[in-house]
Structure 1
Amino acid sequence: MTKSLQYLPFELSDTRYFNLHSTSSGIDKVRLKITNSLECFPYITRTDKNNGCDMFVGKQDKPLDKGNSITIGLDTQTVFYQPTDFYTGQNVQILESKFMTKNIALFLIPLIKKQLVLLNWGGNGATLGRLRVKKIVLPVDEKGEPNWDYMDNFINNQIKPLEKLADESLLTYPLINLNSVPWSDFYISDFFEAERGKSGAKRKLYSGQIPLVSARKQFNAFDSFVTVDESKTFKKSISVNNNGDGGAGLAFFHNYKYVATQDVTALIEKEFMSNEVKLFISVCITKQADKFGHGNKLNTKRLLHQKIMLPVTIDGKPDFNFMEKYISSIMN
């Protein structure tokens, strides 16, 4: 009979396994020096995009932080693995370990992020001192030591199928020419009703299994997994960002149940549309996004009166059949 895996808590300040410390550089962006050296060093900030990398810079006066470590932005809950040496902005902390590998880091990162969420409640603000005493629960071996081999193998087993999918290429070149049919303009309200997201304040949401969609411009607007009442969810619909981090006007199709923040509007089809058609239309809506921003927010009224270009049949009606075939020609 196989012995069940055991777990124990470990403090991030446990020097047997971790070295948690402030960044060695911590350079404000405005103080970065323009040098003649090759701009090959990542400049890591508290951004939640691009693995925390804001830009690449040349050699600076401050010392580099060592790669093969985890960067932690306390107040933004951003945690990333850095494979190479790097510089950082302000308020970025570093977690090192002699056991660190990319797979180990990927195992630790979600556990650390859970602790950062706890540090953002009430007067328990995020500080390095408070992070040091936080504990993460790790699988252990027979001696009660962190089971690094198990963590490494666990992540490796998660990554392998994804690498296979990437190698096999999910997309092919479109087999249908978009210019082979006429196009015409339509109001979004011709096909959809609009409903604002109703997740409530993100800071009041608990971790769960339902995707939270917010006004983001990447990752299909995915924010996190939360727990909400079923009545607040949408399913198989298009979401449109009302504002956000440069994402106003962007539309995304979600082929799953999700909940949206109030900065997002869900488009509910008036009559049945296939997933392929909704994906096609979401791109057509996104093509109009440049006209919106913080000074021109996309509210529900503006969204429904927004016009988009769509392929049409000979009699001038939306050619949903063409849209479906076009998307199908791209996706395996």
Structure 2
Amino acid sequence: MTDKIWKKFKLCDEFSFVNFKPLHAVNIQTNEVFGIPYVTRTKINNGIDGYINPESIEKKYLNPGKAISFGAETGKMFYQPVKFVAGNKMYGIYNDNLTELTAPFVIAILTNGLKDSGFEYGYGMIPERIKHRKLPFPVDSFGKIDWKYMAQFINNLSCNLPLFPVTKNHIKNSLELSDRSWHLFTVCKIVDVHSGRDYPKIQRSKGVTPYVGSSSKTNGVTDNIKTNELTPNNFAKAVVSVARNGSVGYSFYHPYFAYFSGDVRYIESSHLNIYTGLFLTQAIMSQKSQFAYGFKLGTERLKNLKISLPIDDDCNPDWNFMEKYIRSLPNSDLL
């Protein structure tokens, strides 16, 4: 890049800045798999804090894709290639030349150029505070921003990155949930529910064993611990966790050996594998709006929770169909 000519441009002369209309988290129900991306001030997962059923979104909350999103306090920028819904204090940057190749280059320029501007909680990075800034961009022979150069630069970088596997499954070949009959089941009638056990952080030491706590991120894993003779015996494998506290109602499948803290409950069943486990987590999370920090999902409430599941000819949970359904979805062949 040292042999390239660079020139400073006022941001508002080259980009459009948008204040997104917020859809607050308390007014929606998200899932971890399907729907319209819900973009918030989180610093991870490309700014996506779950997905929303498209049928439940008013058009006024939908934002066009091909945007760089950022939050007021965190200032973390991400490229959003498709339509999305924004949370509170979210803003966007648009230019017709933004693509999956040019946007990373632009984000790097913006992040580096604004990093020492003093933005923090109480003094957020909002459009009015940055759009008049002048930052350097590579230019072409006409003195314009060289979008082709940026795209080629990122493309060359990506060619040297390891390739990730691509799914062979197609959404058009996925099974239909509407083809099945469904029934409400009380959780304790179909699986075994176990309580987690507190293990204070001051007593823990760093290791490699996953520690499952109350989190809606990273599959519920909040730490990695080293086990010893003083570690409480509260380990399990091939189970589904359910947060009782904090991120109440979030549920994850754990194919690995893990410790389950007092902030979670975990479910065991001979029917559980990675496919049926993932199906069950969604059935449980569809009920999480009933609970909150002041109304926790403890052991007894989880045992008596009613969830909707597809049934077989004997009116029992159709575990075979649940597995086949998850297997039919895009990316399931990569599990």
TM class by shorter-chain length?
Answer: 0.5 to 0.7
Aligned match of 2:314: 315
CA distance in 1, matches of 2:75, 2:291: 26
Inter-partner Cα distance in structure 2 for 1:189 and 1:239: 14
CA distance in 2, matches of 1:325, 1:41: 39
Matches within 5 A, 1:39-54: 42-44=71-73
Most deviating of 227-236 and 259-268: 227-236
Runs of 4+ in structure 1 displaced over 6 angstroms? none
User: Cα gap change, 1:287/1:209 in structure 2, threshold over 3 Å: closer, same or farther?
Assistant: same
Equivalent residue number for residue 198 of structure 1? 197
Paired position in structure 1 for 2:296: 297
Q: 1:85 aligns with which of 94, 111, 114?
A: 114
Contact 1:220/1:252 (8 A) holds in 2: yes
* SS of the residue 2:233 aligns to: helix
Give me the whole-angstrom Cα distance separating, in 1, the residues matched to 2:207 and 2:168: 29
**Pick aligned residue for 1:243 from 245, 249, 259:** 245
* Identical positions, percent: 25
Count, aligned residues: 205
TM-score with structure 2 setting the length:
0.52
Tell me the alpha carbon deviations over residues 22-73 of structure 1, each in whole angstroms, 9 at most, x when there is no partner.
xxxxxxxxxxxxxx975576434599xxxxx984469xxxxxxxx979xxxx
Paired position in structure 1 for 2:82 = none
The Cα of 1:314 is off from its aligned counterpart by 2.3
Deviation at 1:264, TM superposition (A): 0.5
Question: 2 CA distance for matches of 1:54 and 1:307?
Answer: 32
Distance, in Å, in 1 between the alignment partners of 2:323 and 2:70 is: 44
Q: 1:210 to 1:171 in 2, by over 3 A?
A: farther
Mapping of residues 78-157 of structure 1, within 5 Å: 85=114, 87-89=119-121
Do the aligned partners of 2:198 and 2:263 also contact (CA within 8 Å) in 1?
A: no
C-alpha distance in structure 2 between counterparts of 1:170 and 1:291, whole Å? 37
Superposed CA RMSD in Å reads 3.7
Residue equivalent to 1:212: 211
Aligned residue in 2 for 1:73 = none
How far apart are the structure 2 equivalents of 1:281 and 1:236? Answer: 13
Q: How has the CA–CA distance of structure 1 residues 194 and 45 changed in structure 2, closer, same or farther, with 3 Å as cutoff?
A: same
Q: Answer with 192-201 or 292-301: which moved more.
A: 192-201
TM-score (norm: length of structure 1): 0.53
Change (3 A) 1:181 1:220: same
CA contact (8 A) 1:44 1:54 kept: no
Match runs of 1:168-187 below 5 Å: 168-169=166-167, 172-173=170-171, 175-187=174-186
- Residue of structure 2 equivalent to 1:222: 221
Q: Which runs of 5+ in 1 are unaligned?
A: 1-35, 48-52, 59-66, 70-81, 91-155
Alpha-carbon contact 1:201-1:261 (below 8 Å) kept: no
8 Å CA contact 1:237–1:278 kept in 2: the answer is: yes
- Compared CA separation, residues 41 and 199, structure 1 to 2 (3 A): same
